[in-house]
């Protein structure tokens, strides 16, 4: 007998709707795009190009962190009722594991903890060959939305 995982999202959305919100934001400027919304994960890509590279021709660690925080923040907020609550970042860390010089990277965010007051998400970023580039952990506070 197979066990089905419950969907964690509290609000209906689509990949297209999520990407439309990126217009005129850091995510849009850096070319980030959500590509998949699973039952318990969100996945997105970012190009490795002039916008995301450091002067030595490698993917900038800050760009990886920006992708991680974007995916984790979007996911965290999808777990909440947007009329009453929102998730805001408290802390993020990242371990940069492999240099990337071209192409794109893909990040996958999965929850480690979804609580009433905090959420913790792990974001794994890989290169086009599936090799680990960065692993990040994002902690967010769940706060009441200002009225």
- Percentages helix, strand, coil for the chain (3-state, rounded to 5) are 20, 40, 40
Please list, residue by residue across 52-85, b when 16 or more beta carbons sit within 10 angstroms of its beta carbon and e when fewer do: bbeeeebbbeebbbbbbbbbbbbbbbbbbeeeee
Q: What is the mean pLDDT of residues 14-23?
A: 95
Task: Quote the domain boundaries for residue 136.
Answer: 15-144
Q: What is the mean pLDDT of residues 37-53?
A: 97
Q: Which two tokens stand for residue 124?
A: 């794994």
pLDDT digits (tens, 9 = 90+) for 100-109: 999 999 999 9
**6 falls within a domain:** no
**7 falls within a domain:** no
**9 falls within a domain:** no
- Contacts for 128 with CB less than 8 Å, ≥ 6 apart: 103, 104, 105, 106
Looking up residue 138, the CATH number of its domain turns out to be 3.10.129.10
Q: What's the full length of the chain, in residues?
A: 147
Domain total of the chain? 1
122 is catalytic: no
pTM of the prediction?
0.94
Q: List C-alpha distances in Å: 69 to 2, 28, 80, 84.
A: 33, 14, 17, 22
Do residues 41 and 48 make contact, with C-beta atoms less than 8 angstroms apart?
no
pLDDT digits (tens, 9 = 90+) for 65-91: 999 999 999 999 999 999 999 999 999
**38 falls within a domain:** yes
Is residue 3 scored above 60 in pLDDT? Answer: no
pLDDT of amino acid 147: 80
Per the residue annotation, which of 3, 36, 69, 128 is the catalytic one? 69
**101 falls within a domain:** yes
pLDDT of amino acid 2: 47
Residue with structure tokens 């609550």? 85
């Amino acid at each position: 007998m197979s066990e089905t995982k419950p969907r964690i999202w509290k609000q209906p959305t689509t990949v297209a709707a999520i990407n439309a919100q990126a217009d005129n934001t850091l995510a849009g400027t850096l070319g980030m795009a959500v590509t998949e919304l699973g039952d318990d994960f969100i996945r997105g890509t970012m190009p490795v190009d002039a916008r995301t590279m450091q002067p030595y021709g490698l993917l900038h660690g800050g760009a990886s962190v920006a992708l991680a925080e974007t995916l984790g923040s979007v996911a965290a907020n999808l777990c909440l009722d947007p009329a009453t609550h929102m998730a805001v970042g408290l802390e993020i860390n990242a371990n940069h594991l492999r240099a990337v010089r071209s192409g794109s990277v893909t990040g996958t965010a999965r929850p480690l903890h979804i609580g009433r007051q905090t959420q913790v998400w792990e974001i794994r970023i890989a290169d086009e060959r599936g090799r680990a580039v960065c692993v990040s952990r994002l902690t967010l506070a769940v706060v009441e939305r200002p009225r």
